[in-house]
Structure formats: C-alpha cells, structure tokens
Structure 1
Amino acid sequence: MSHDDPDPAFPNPPDPRTLSAFVDDALPERERAAVLAYLELDARAAAQVADWRRQKAALQALCGAPERNEPVFMVVRTPSPWWRRAGLAACWLGVGAGLTLALGPLASRLPGGWGGFGGWNGSDTISFARRADIAYAVYTPERRHPVEVAATEEEHLINWLSKRLNRPLSVPSLQEYGYSLVGGRLLPGEAGPAAQFMYENTTGARLTLYVTGIARDETAFRLLRDGNRRTFYWVSDHMGYALSGPISEGKLREIAIDVCSDLGGKPESWQ
C-alpha cells in the first residue's frame, strides 16, 4: 500500500499532525488503536513514525529529560517535524562551537572581530550569542507551540528554569515596548542548560531573551547580525544574556539596556 493508493479500509489516513500526536502519546485510546492498525498496513508511514521517535529521543537526550509532570509539547509542520529542524540546529551549534575554537586565535586579528561580533574574543561568548540567534530562528516561526511553558504559568516557568539553570531567574517585562511574554523553554547551552523567553507584540513580531551560564565575567556589550535578525548580548555576574529580534538596532539596543538594568546588570559600564 502507498500514500498514493490508500487502503479502502482507511479512506482518510492519519495526517502528519495525528502521527505526531501518536509519537507524543497524546491521542485518545480509540484514535491510537486506529493509528496502530494503519501503521501495520503502511510500511512507509511506520518507518516515518519510527524515525520521528528516534529523533525525538535524541533531542530529549540532548536537552535533558523533562521533570516529572513537566509539560512537553511536540509539533509537526508539513513536511518535517520541528524536532528535526531543532536537531539540525543543534548540529549546527556543535559545528559553530568547533569553528569558534578553531578560529578563535584568528578572531583578534580580524578588523572589527569575527563575523560581526565587534571584537569580543571570548569563544564561549561568541558561541552563546550564536546559539541565541539560532534558537530565535528555530522557535519564533512556530505559531501553535512556540514555547514549552506558556506565560499563563509564569511562576511555574520561572521556578522550573531556575532549577534547571541552578540560579534564580526573573523575566523582565517588555510591556512598555508593546511586547507581552509568550512563555519560555529549556535549551542545551555550551556548558550546561540555557533558557529562552519569548515575547510578542500585537502584530505578531517576536523577541527572545536567551540566558545561560558563562565561565568568564565581562562587562562588554556586543551586536551580532544575521540577515534581518540582530542580537545584542552581554555578560553579567557569570550569566550570558542575548536579546534577539528583527527590529532596528537602535530600538533593540534601547530594550537591551532596560533588560540589563532590570536583571541587575550595569549597562552604564558598556563602552
């Protein structure tokens, strides 16, 4: 049987979202039984489900297993599931980290620093800023499940991520700039967990704040550009912060300064 010639017993075979819910064990028992019966007849669909399960398991292992009773949302958008794109992004993060280590000694000799980082030569800092930019590109296009925990559970979100990063976290308000908190998620960082908080305005434009531990303690403030995306990033008290979005550099810098102040940093020390 093929998808082009469906079995008469299944005139409406399960679509990718239903198969995704099956992988996540999120279907009612009756629907789950129907999908199982369908997969027994469609070898190609069964192989695809098995492939998604392997990718999901690999991504969960990379990010860390969720706490018991913690919500985990998985979503598939035709033609590929989001964890495939996230997995690819994680692979690129690893490649980027390797290139950073390899090219780090050359960065200080390049005019203006390497790749638009404004001359900040700490390889761990470059890596966390790049991770923040990639995380923005991967997760902000999601419409239905852009975050793991929604803003309606803000207290739970903060407590969960604070526990995973082993440091008290807070979420700055961006309401004065027209952005409301959407929620947040846990991500793999360079040397441990990282957190991403997502904001959205009334037109649907989004900003993200990426937070992770950093070995060194800098006071510099730098800008990373990638296409129409910009990321202002800084380190304060051994924590790296990166604010990413597609808005103008001047406006993003203004917001970043306020965020730094709200989080206990000292933007007045930036040069």
Structure 2
Amino acid sequence: MIDNRKQLEAQLSAMLDGELSDADRAAVEALIQADAQARAQAEMLKSVDDFGRLHFADLLKEPVSLDLVRSIKTASEPRRAVRLPKAGPGRPRIKPTLNVVIASSLLMFSLGAGAGYMFASRPQMTTYADLAGDPNKAWLDDVVSNYRLFSRQSRHLVEVPAAESAHIVDWLMATTGVSFRIPDLRSEDLEFVGARLYSAGGRPVGQLVYRNRDAEVIAISFAKSLTPSDADMQEVIRDDIGLVVWHGQQASYVLTGPSSDAYLDGLAGKIAGII
C-alpha cells in the first residue's frame, strides 16, 4: 500500500513514464480506482505531463535561424564525442515531484513564448519588401514561384536535357535575346542537367538547371535587363529559397537554390565571370 503523498507522486510519475513493473502498475491502478484523492492527483499529474509535451512539441516547430543552419553545413571538423562517466552502482535516482513538474512545464512554456517573440521581432535579411522599388521585383517573384514548383519534379525537371547543349544555347538565345555560355561547374560538384524556358515579369526567361551531391537543384535564370548595369550582387532569402541577383550590361541574372546553401554567393561570383 502506498502510504504517503510523496511516495504516491513518485509512483504515479513512474507509471506515466512506463517505468513500473506489471505488479506495481496494477497496484497503483487499483489504488486510483479505489481512492478519490489518488485519482485526482493522477489526473492532475497527467494533465501537467500532457501540457509539457504539447508545448515542447510546439517549441520544436520554431524555425531555425539561417545562421545556425549554415554554421552546421559549413563546419570543417566534426566535434569529438565526450565520454561521460558511468553512474556509480547504487546511486539513487531522483524522481521529480508534482511541484517540480509544474514549474518545469511553466518554464518550458515561457521559453517557447520568448523564442517565438524573438524570431518574430528579429530583423531579417533582405526581403522582397526591401525590393519594392526595384522594377525587377515582379520577375523575381515569378522566378521564386517557378523554382518552388519545378525543383520538386524528378522525371520532368528539365525541358531539354544536357546532352543537347548546343541546341539549348541556340534555343534560349533566340527566345530571350541574351547571349550566354553554359557554365561548367563540375569543380563545384554541380552536374548540369539541362534547361527550361518560362515567363517571369512578362519576359521570357532562360534557365540552366544543375544538381549538387545532395540532389538539390541549383538554377541559373536570365532575362533581358530592364535596369542599368549593376555589378553588385544582392542576396535575397525567401523562406527556404535563396537567391543571388545581379545585372549585366544586357541581362539580369538570378542564381536560385536552397537558402541553407552557404556557398550561393561565392558560386554566383564564379558564374558571373563565365556566363
């Protein structure tokens, strides 16, 4: 028989964690059925446990900062695992009381709310709102929409395969009016897959499609420029899509890929010197 409140809390907590033997679990369940006070305590503990799990799950859904994602992907050396000493024999295990569980749940809720506030109020990188005065904004919106749609394709990723590179150059030059060369990016671990043609901002846009070692799609889009020549590159983040935008003397270019790719800006610089 469980003869005190603290022991009952410990047994109820162990039962919720699935740590009781069949015999102990049956004894606790029998007590809950027979004792109204034990039943109320069990229900309260279960509600606190559910509350904590719910808000912890919500916290895991918070977006991870782009800086953290890029730091992980660009880490040069893996961290060495730290071997923790084994617990000594006979060391008693401390079970949290109901008050500790409630306090922990409330703390978790506060941390989740604080994290949400910080992410909501944190200044972001260049956004489309920042480009509102740019006459190319409309076509950039279409570039993003096109990438989001076609990059999920597999069988129909491109219209003309890489094997027909000569035809790709003639076809896209005649349609877009932009002279270009297909960059060889094998040194960057990018495989040229083929090309596409679509419309963005009311202009025909040529697109060269590549895949990296992770099977992620990297695309180069180009169209006749509506703005004066601007050598400066601008990096834009749109949700999970990253863009690097620049303008040549006759054409505007956009390199598009996953926003977690830390090398898009450097890759764009290399492409600008080739295309």
Q: Normalised by the size of structure 1, how large is the TM-score?
A: 0.51
C-alpha displacement of 1:195: 0.8
2:138 to 122, 127, 131: 127
DSSP-derived class of the 1:147 partner: coil
1:215 to 226, 250, 261: 226
Q: How do residues 195-234 of structure 1 correspond to structure 2 at under 5 angstroms? A: 195-219=206-230, 220-234=232-246
C-alpha displacement of 1:254: 0.6
Q: Report whether the alignment pairs 1:190 with 2:201.
A: yes
C-alpha displacement of 1:189: 2.7
Contact kept, 8 Å, 2:217 with 2:257, in 1: the verdict is yes
1:201-231, Cα deviation, whole Å (9 max, x unpaired): 2331110111111221241321221222100
Change (3 A) 1:137 1:215: same
> Match for 1:257: what amino acid?
G
1:121-153, Cα deviation, whole Å (9 max, x unpaired): 543222222222221111111100111100010
Q: Which runs of 5 or more residues in structure 2 are unaligned?
A: 1-122
CA distance in 2, matches of 1:172, 1:147: 17
> Match for 1:221: what amino acid?
M
Q: Which residue of 1 aligns with 2:154?
A: 143
- The worse-fitting range, judged by mean Cα deviation, of 214-223 and 193-202 is 214-223
CA distance in 2, matches of 1:120, 1:221: 13
> Match for 2:173: what amino acid?
S
CA distance in 1, matches of 2:191, 2:159: 16
Is the radius of gyration larger for structure 1 or structure 2? 2
> Match for 1:142: what amino acid?
Q
CA distance in 2, matches of 1:126, 1:113: 18
Contact kept, 8 Å, 1:118 with 1:222, in 2: the verdict is no
Change (3 A) 1:174 1:122: farther
Q: Which residue of 2 aligns with 1:172?
A: 183
C-alpha displacement of 1:194: 0.7
> Match for 2:187: what amino acid?
E
Q: How do residues 76-115 of structure 1 correspond to structure 2 at under 5 angstroms? A: none
Q: Which residue of 1 aligns with 2:251?
A: 239
Q: Which runs of 5 or more residues in structure 1 are unaligned?
A: 1-111, 264-271
> Match for 1:258: what amino acid?
K
Name the % identity.
20
DSSP-derived class of the 2:153 partner: coil
DSSP-derived class of the 1:152 partner: helix
> Match for 1:181: what amino acid?
F
C-alpha displacement of 1:174: 1.6
CA distance in 2, matches of 1:238, 1:166: 9
CA distance in 2, matches of 1:262, 1:232: 16
Q: Which residue of 1 aligns with 2:35?
A: none
CA distance in 2, matches of 1:230, 1:143: 20
Q: Report whether the alignment pairs 1:261 with 2:269.
A: no
Aligned residues: 152
Contact kept, 8 Å, 2:246 with 2:253, in 1: the verdict is yes
Contact kept, 8 Å, 1:185 with 1:196, in 2: the verdict is yes
Q: Which residue of 2 aligns with 1:68?
A: none
